Amino acid sequence: MNSRLTDGAGLPFPEGFRWGTATSAYQVEGATGADGRGESIWDRFCRVPGAIENGDTGDVACESYGRAEEQVRLMARLGTNAHRFSLAWPRIVPTGAGRVEPRGIAHYDRFIDLLLEHGISPLVTLYHWDLPQPLQDRGGWRARETAEAFAAYAGICFEAFGDRVRDWVTVNEPWIVGLLGHQLGLHAPGEKSLAGSVQAMHHLLLGHGLAVGALRAGRGAGREAARAGIAYSLFPHAPADPGSSADAAAAHASDGYVNRWFLDPVHGRGYPDDMLRHWEEAAGKLDFIQADDLETIGAGSDFIGVNYYTRRIVSAHEERSPGDGAWPWKVEPPQPGVPCTDLGWEIVPEELTALLLRLHEDYPGVPLMITENGGIFDDGPGEDGAVHDERRTRFLHAHLAAVHRALEAGAPVEGYFHWSLIDNFEWAMGYRPRFGLVHLDRTTGRRTVKDSGHWYARAARSGVVPPMR
């Protein structure tokens, strides 16, 4: 990388950098009843009146299950050399444990082959929130049994696809699963229990550790290079008043809740003491943590998956908030003058540089991958049929420049996966938010590569982020 080149000439990225897009099964596949797929917690949750905006569901989504070939051609048009997607657990093991569905395996076999034929390397997520409903009926992630079933399912996937897939994300965003799925009830399975959410987050980490064990056990079987990591939803933190020690303490505590509670144990340091104290006080005894769980969880992670969207500015507060971990703090609204996406998330790319450098410092030697980054910009086709989404292009440019700065400062960033390839099902918000590089017209199914997609293609093809005018 020639660091003397300025943005005027474009920003060159290292040889072998992975230029990717990201999706997840339930958000894009549709075809929820096809080929023996079992029911997932999202199929069930979408049927709860009022749970999802507009009554939307993932039944059809982007029809990616039936249009896999077209989807891969789209990626090839974008010039990307990598793609992150998730396997739907209920397609592979329809009831969560036990019988394997060969048609599910065949579908992903073909999808992986298609990617490879187009020179696109797969980064495969095993769990992106679509838990088989029968496991939920037995306690879901609150139950230890689910972590064990997850490891067995992971082993099936390593066996089936490990000859072509090197890199695996075990679990996507364990904090969000705990917060939205189990504490606030806004995501499937719709539970509202602080104690339950702490238990679920522990079992997600345990599932990761057990899956890593299964992956490593298979290394002798021709999968020596296999790697696994978690994709964390990481939020840099700042105190609302930099001069206030109470705000600084609140920001540090919130960082423990959102970031350190996950990163520390996976990297062999155990759960952070401040957080253990907090959970015991706010959520009760943590007696579901068994003697060697932390050793299993701490078996490690071969890379850190960074899902980065925005930051959290926190101020100290007298009262405990009912949500957000029952902490005495307040998350501040967007700061005046800071640009935001259409959902009101602050756009702060410089925080991404700082986050990557912090991870490099705190967990030295571990490769980093931006497994998600993106924003909601509600642009659609104009009269000329094109989608002139200049704000997304600027967002991309700013965040890739932030990654470039981190690389120059020595952070081992291996790739960038834009969330998302295509406008898709955004969970409780249904199809309203648009995150894609490709616009989806849900009435006609028509796909239109947005201007941001064309811009990203220039970067991905050349390995140089073009300057912005």
Among all residues, which ones are annotated catalytic?
Answer: 173, 372
In the bound state with ligand IFM, the residue whose beta carbon lies nearer, of 307 and 452, is 307
Q: How far is the CB of 26 from ligand IFM (least distance, A)?
A: 9
Q: Which of 161, 168, 419, 456 touches ligand IFM by CB under 6 A?
A: 419
Query: Both ends of the chain: CA-CA distance in Å?
Result: 23
Q: What is the DSSP letter of 142?
A: G
Q: How far is the CB of 293 from ligand IFM (least distance, A)?
A: 26
Q: How far is the CB of 174 from ligand IFM (least distance, A)?
A: 12
| Chain CA centroid to CA 304, Å | 11
Q: Does 426 bind ligand IFM (CB under 6 A)?
A: yes
Q: Which of 167, 324, 372, 423 touches ligand IFM by CB under 6 A?
A: 372
Tell me how far apart the alpha carbons of residues 402 and 452 are, in angstroms, rounded to a whole number: 17
In the bound state with ligand IFM, the residue whose beta carbon lies nearer, of 111 and 419, is 419
Q: Does 24 bind ligand IFM (CB under 6 A)?
A: yes
Q: Does 307 bind ligand IFM (CB under 6 A)?
A: yes
Best CA proximity match to 210, nearest among 237, 228, 233, 198: 228
Amino acid (one-letter) located at 310: T
Q: Does 173 bind ligand IFM (CB under 6 A)?
A: yes
Of 215-274, binders to ligand IFM (CB under 6 A) are none
Q: How far is the CB of 429 from ligand IFM (least distance, A)?
A: 8
Best CA proximity match to 177, nearest among 164, 191, 165, 166: 191
Tell me how far apart the alpha carbons of residues 121 and 355 are, in angstroms, rounded to a whole number: 26
Specify the 3-state DSSP secondary structure of 242: coil
Proportion of the chain in helix, strand, coil states, percent, rounded to 5: 45, 15, 40
Q: Does 86 bind ligand IFM (CB under 6 A)?
A: no
Best CA proximity match to 424, nearest among 10, 26, 46, 141: 26
Tell me how far apart the alpha carbons of residues 189 and 133 are, in angstroms, rounded to a whole number: 9
Q: How far is the CB of 172 from ligand IFM (least distance, A)?
A: 6
Dihedral sign (CA 290, 294, 300, 303):
positive
Enumerate binding residues for ligand IFM (CB under 6 A): 24, 27, 173, 307, 372, 419, 426
